[in-house]
A and B are shown apart, each in its own frame.
Chain A
Amino acid sequence: MQTFQLSLPPFTFQVETNISLVARNANSLYGSAYSDEIDPLVYVDYYLSATYSGGIRRFYKPQARFLCDEREPFKPLKANQAYAMLEWGMNWTVAAHELQYAIVHSAVLAKDDKAILFPAPPGSGKSTLTAHLSQNGWRLLSDEMALIIPGTNQVIPFVRPICLKNSSIALAKQWFPECVFSTVAADTHKGDVIHMAAPKAAFEQNRTAATIVGIVYPNYKVDRKLDIYQLNMTESFMQLVDNSFNFTAIGESSFDTITSLIEKTKHFEIFYNDLNEVDLFLTEDIINAS
């Protein structure tokens, strides 16, 4: 059994695994945030494990289980999907337990410490857009969740790998050959999945909050040039709440935070097939105009 710690501000995870690809991928994707020298003085927020299921099945159709503090939120998956399961498990862990932030399912990228949220359901092209921007002058704060400090319009980083699926995998490998990628988790419920390491610069600034200045709801459409629709505050509020992980759990504080945030930011829904056009729009119309 191997044990390692991931120091990913604002959280520290300790992971136990007997599946070699889990530790190998974590080591290559997290770099200096990964440590297999367990420091007993470090405060660990969550104890996780990704291990082979027991029994005879292990020898002919091996499966992996994810546990968070002895709780098992998912059914076992194929063992070759164990690393992706760990990443999804970390997402679940934070979304299900953390109440000190208003948490929105959203990518977060910033320029000059001005951040834009990209809340979107699966299939919207969010992660491909995130990968592109993070390699083209934008600071990655998160591919998956915005941790908003209640009562403010500040978002704090939670820097993790970017989860790419299906046709995005080949594109990302072609665009960014120098980047570090995980092994492929084939045939998951999301299709083939791979994780791409966050840029080193993102880790270097992983304690620096950014001010949210825009919220953009992305929709990738293969045959559609950039179409931009300005949303009113009521529309944007309802979409943001739909993408919130803990809005109802936090209650009044979350309502106040989100309504206040909506009034301080710009809101757009975009349809696109050209990532460079999107980059230009975001920079000129949101970042530079804020």
Chain B
Amino acid sequence: MSKYIGKKTKLEYKKGMLKHPFLDKSGLVFFNTQSTVVTSISVNETIFKEWLDCPQKLRKEDLSKLRTLIEQGFIVESPVAE
């Protein structure tokens, strides 16, 4: 498992971060108003929510995208209720 994502965790949007899923489903954009980082991910919102719910099942390259979003402070880990 990755440095950031544990076996019994899911991911969620960090409070206070701005995000916008585009109507054409081309992706989501994020803006951290404190660090002023702007970034995007080219995945539609439905799939992205699945990624957040179950990051353990992701391919290496997709997991790497999530790690970047964690590092940038857009998403955080949260424990899954047993």
Contact = CB atoms under 8 A, between A and B. Distances in A.
Interface of A: 232-235, 237-238, 241, 247-248, 251-252, 255, 259, 262-263
23 contacts: A232-B22, A232-B24, A232-B26, A233-B22, A233-B24, A234-B26, A234-B28, A234-B29, A234-B42, A237-B22, A237-B29, A238-B29, A238-B40, A247-B38, A248-B36, A251-B31, A251-B33, A252-B18, A255-B18, A255-B20, A259-B20, A259-B22, A262-B22
Contacts of A251: 31, 33
Contacts, number: 41
Give the dominant DSSP class at A's interface: helix
B27 A234 contact: yes
Given A241-B38, A252-B18, A259-B20, A235 B33 contact: no
Contacts of B27: 232-234
A236 to B, nearest CB: 9
Interface string B24-49: 10111101010010101010000000
B7 to A, nearest CB: 31
Nearest to A244: B38
B80 interface: no
A84 to B, nearest CB: 31
B42 A252 contact: no
Given A251-B31, A255-B20, A255-B31, 10 more contacts: A232-B22, A233-B22, A233-B24, A234-B26, A234-B27, A234-B29, A238-B29, A238-B40, A252-B33, A263-B23
